[in-house]
Structure 1
Amino acid sequence: MSESRTILVAGTASHVGKSTVAAGLCRHFADRGVSVAPFKAQNMSNNARAVPVAKGVDGEGWGEIGVSQYVQARAARVPANTDHNPVLLKPRGDAESQLVIDGRPVGHFGAGDYYDEHWERARDAAEAAHARLAAEHDVVVAEGAGSIAEINLRHRDLANLETARFASADVLLVVDIERGGAFASLYGTLELMPDDVREQVSGAVVTKFRGDVSLLEPGVEEFEDRSGVPILGVLPYDDPGLPEEDSVGLPDDVERGPGVVGADDGVPVERSVTVAVPRLPRISNFTDLEPLARVPGVRVAYVPPEGSLETADAVVLPGTKNTVDDLLALREADFGDELAAFDGPVVGLCGGYQLIGERITNAGVESADVVDAVEGFGLLPVETRFSEEKRVVGSTFDLSAETGPLAGATGPVSGYEIHAGRTDVPEHLPNPVGPESATTERVLGTYLHGLFENENAREAFVDAVYRHAGCTRPGDETGVPSSNPYDDAAALVREHVDLRALHPRG
């Protein structure tokens, strides 16, 4: 194997398309037989996946990484592990985040405590993880975070500047032209970067462009003349459908055009169904809903806590980083009344499952506002007790649902669990999705993230929603083409970026 190369996909700001470009590069290299792996030294997200702890890290078992690096590992066709995202910060409110290093929780800290007391440990873990990946792969595609030119963070910018340095990375700058001022953003970013990292910039990519690309040519030429940095490509506005990393990408409500995730795909309105998802203040792992949003005729609509469920055909309560505080927020918004009046299928996933139980005890573990117990919404006769211990594991269960929102579904279902607290289920309730799951004729609760990625569970749920809605589910006559978001991301990059400067040397 030739010497490994690291490409750092860095941005001029947050949400400029770094994750899409990184995933596209991972699939592009994998398609050409290049051994490639994703990497993000430090991520901040409540959208996490459970993956095996990397070899070379003390101990075995399962740990957490950000969902984007899990997605990028799939794009690279390599099994995801904790080396792909060695440092994860999971915000939980009150200016605190849970610090996860090498997949394992370290504690909850404010920003000052993290940088003063734990940042050096985090940097060491990130550098060691990158070294292990570089020893095994020809190319490491690293993703930065936010802007690489945040001068107030220059001395502790782990995901950008530190990665560029310890990985000797070739830096690819990404800028979103839809925001306006793209050339100014690129030029200003270059001017504010430290000189040593500025010299590592190989080129730039413009994303989310609409219209005739020839109109950009005068600006491209002048920027290149002024900066000496080539514009390697201009990506059109095209979303390949990769999972969102955090809730900034979610709509605010269901009334606006972007408020519906998963279009009707040509299905007549009277034949579509709507799955309502409360937009929890501390929502996490909302990628659980994306497989449903891709089903023709199914709309996944994010509803604000004070919103109505009147037009919903089903409700899915997603995960949350802080079950107790989100429960209190939903109560304050009278969401419990809406949920009590709703008579369709309801599924609670992880924290959403805890919300719809009868009680949560030892609630002070999660919330300073509750001493001991808090009443849940009471849709399932179960009780959850919180503890400091956290369960992080990949799981496979033998699904057998005779009743409930998954009625008729059988066979294995796989996913992962990331949760604190254990739920006691009465013996008379069926456990269709693992021993801690519970179902009634209308309501299901489970800790299994990724449930709807399993076709048997997804199809059974969609069928149940259509039965409740009293309409016929669309068949294959819709003519909706199948699409692979990893291949689509690769095609987007391959067709619009000059990749010759980014291929492995030698």
Structure 2
Amino acid sequence: MADARTLLVAGTASHVGKSTVAAGLCRHLADSGVSVAPFKAQNMSNNARAVPASEAADAPWGEIGVSQYVQARAARVPATTDHNPALLKPRGDAESQLVLDGQAAGHYAAGDYYDQHWDDARETAEAAHQRLAADHDVIVAEGAGSIAEVNLHDRDLANVETARLADADVLVVVDIERGGAFASLYGTLELLPDDVRERVAGAIITKFRGDPALLESGIEEIEERTGVPILGVLPYDDPGLPAEDSLSLPDEGRAVFGSDAPNERSVTVAVPRLSRISNFTDLEPLARVPGVRVAYVPPESELDDADAVVLPGTKNTVDDLRELRAAGFGAELRAFDGPVVGLCGGYQLLGERVTNAGVESTDDLDSVEGFGLLPVETAFRENKRVEAVTRMLDGVGPLAGASGEVSGYEIHMGRTDVPESLPNPVGPTSAATDRVLGTYLHGLFENETAREAFVDAVYEYADRERPAAGGGRQSPYDAAADLVREHVDLAALELPA
């Protein structure tokens, strides 16, 4: 066992703020001169990033969950597949793609994974943790969901097994916004295996609105009942970190992010709410632009109030394509005459057809007709492309006037055939017309040149005056660190204050 200390940020449930706390700790420790690295033994997310692979991989690039990429940036270390050695990417019908050391290992039902492949995942995770521990002083590990799922305690890689294999101290995070925080924390502690319960160093209450003094009597009683100190109460404050999974989106209906209520100087970018949506963090940079509203809309929605449409990535292009067509979205999109951008799987949706479709779909299919907005055709193959890339931007259509380098990453299985007559504004695999763009480049809108050109095109189509940019916003990593350092007793965790 290496000498590095591991702190496991576990939770009483999903979406309680574990990722924010972990990122805040990573940035605070990095600011304090501590060599720190993030870690999540097993993640389940379709929001992934392409990063350099570890020495254990047989390829130069691999993919990890977006939260560990974010936490690596917070820790000011290059992200690698060691930060998230096991990744499950759901694709529907209770089946997920298993990614080990950044490389796709196959598609498995949940039972098959736990019966036949979990031991491989644990071995991969332990080796990755040992490599990180050899290079850093502190590892901030993030758990997954609830640490108290008693039916999973014998195979809970992200929580129970991480605590054991890393000899970790455990910090339990509980969300008070939904109510029942004290009961949830008490029940969680009672249900932990004895050896893991002994590792709990404290708990943090998150997402509190109001006067913390109102919690004092409850905190005193829960500390007396459990012997676990409450080390902080974090106010409800979103630092703006990319979301890890689609829990931040509603299961159904319309959800709007970004600018406040619509007015004569705002524009709306409509995004179809795909059942198998992935890498929707591609849209977050647009939602941070003054005046821009990003609206996730149901597939059956009309686009009458949209000023642009962006089709996001999808873990299962074929099944999402069929679902959108059945809902009438294809006809609605063809009738829309504003800027349209397709990102990765969204790009594939815009083409004439998808062939060899059975590679991705759970059904035995050969060909599925696309929306036909771009004269391209995509063929699926077994091999997945995973790579960070830099492209030269030669803006046409929705990116008209933009030029220069843009960087991002590609994660996809399909290969798109682009006619020579069609412009390639974002590298050779991209395609564009005067108003439609398709590209495999995730992170396109993180590049200011591309983002500004697209927003300008949307405002031009909407025939509205674009509002002036607001003042500079604090880095989300620094904002997360401020939350932690201002509201958590770090000294009690034996961390720099």
TM superposition score category, shorter chain reference: over 0.9
Opposite residue 445 of structure 2, the aligned amino acid is F
Q: Which runs of 5+ in 1 are unaligned?
A: none
Work out which of the residue numbers 466, 490, 495 in structure 1 matches 2:481: 490
2:202 is paired with a residue whose SS is strand
- Residues 183-202 of structure 1 aligned to structure 2 (within 5 Å): 183-202=182-201
8 A contact 1:254–1:260 mirrored in 2: no
Distance 1:58 1:461, change over 3 A: closer
Work out which of the residue numbers 314, 318, 324 in structure 2 matches 1:324: 318
Q: Which runs of 5+ in 2 are unaligned?
A: none
- Partners of 2:479 and 2:253 in 1: CA distance: 27
- Partners of 1:157 and 1:136 in 2: CA distance: 26
Opposite residue 49 of structure 1, the aligned amino acid is R
1:260 aligns with 2:292: no
Which residue of 2 is the match for residue 24 of structure 1?
A: 24
Work out which of the residue numbers 341, 349, 352 in structure 1 matches 2:346: 352
Work out which of the residue numbers 461, 467, 477 in structure 1 matches 2:454: 461
1:433 aligns with 2:422: no
Which residue of 1 is the match for residue 116 of structure 2?
A: 117
1:69 aligns with 2:68: yes
The offset of 1:445, in angstroms, is 0.3
Opposite residue 465 of structure 1, the aligned amino acid is V
- Partners of 2:492 and 2:120 in 1: CA distance: 34
Opposite residue 83 of structure 2, the aligned amino acid is H
Which residue of 1 is the match for residue 54 of structure 2?
A: 54
1:487 is paired with a residue whose SS is helix
- Residues 307-346 of structure 1 aligned to structure 2 (within 5 Å): 307-346=301-340
Which residue of 1 is the match for residue 152 of structure 2?
A: 153
- Partners of 2:284 and 2:253 in 1: CA distance: 16
- Partners of 1:480 and 1:272 in 2: CA distance: 18
- Deviation >4 Å, runs of 4+: 252-255
Distance 1:504 1:488, change over 3 A: closer
Of residues 18-27 and 467-476 in structure 1, the stretch that sits farther from structure 2 once superposed is 467-476
Which residue of 1 is the match for residue 389 of structure 2?
A: 395
- Partners of 2:4 and 2:107 in 1: CA distance: 35
Aligned residues: 495
8 A contact 1:138–1:504 mirrored in 2: no
Opposite residue 45 of structure 1, the aligned amino acid is S
The offset of 1:368, in angstroms, is 3.8
- Partners of 2:302 and 2:258 in 1: CA distance: 20
Which residue of 2 is the match for residue 96 of structure 1?
A: 95
- Partners of 1:155 and 1:254 in 2: CA distance: 37
Distance 1:17 1:415, change over 3 A: same
8 A contact 1:53–1:63 mirrored in 2: yes
1:382 aligns with 2:376: yes
1:179 aligns with 2:178: yes
Distance 1:500 1:48, change over 3 A: same
- Partners of 1:251 and 1:452 in 2: CA distance: 23
Opposite residue 160 of structure 2, the aligned amino acid is L
8 A contact 1:356–1:380 mirrored in 2: yes
Work out which of the residue numbers 343, 356, 363 in structure 1 matches 2:357: 363
Residue deviations 1:125-170 (CA, integer Å, cap 9, x gap): 0011011111111110000011111100010000000000011101
The offset of 1:371, in angstroms, is 2.2
TM-score (norm 1): 0.96
The offset of 1:389, in angstroms, is 1.0
- Partners of 1:301 and 1:126 in 2: CA distance: 38
Distance 1:31 1:244, change over 3 A: same
8 A contact 1:254–1:301 mirrored in 2: no
Of residues 224-233 and 495-504 in structure 1, the stretch that sits farther from structure 2 once superposed is 495-504
- Residues 195-214 of structure 1 aligned to structure 2 (within 5 Å): 195-214=194-213
Work out which of the residue numbers 481, 499, 504 in structure 1 matches 2:490: 499
Share of identical aligned residues, percent? 77
1:13 is paired with a residue whose SS is coil
Residue deviations 1:369-416 (CA, integer Å, cap 9, x gap): 352111100000000011111100011011112x20001000000000
2:88 is paired with a residue whose SS is strand
Which residue of 1 is the match for residue 44 of structure 2?
A: 44
Which residue of 2 is the match for residue 230 of structure 1?
A: 229
The offset of 1:472, in angstroms, is 1.1
Distance 1:254 1:276, change over 3 A: farther
- Partners of 2:477 and 2:338 in 1: CA distance: 34
8 A contact 1:46–1:90 mirrored in 2: yes
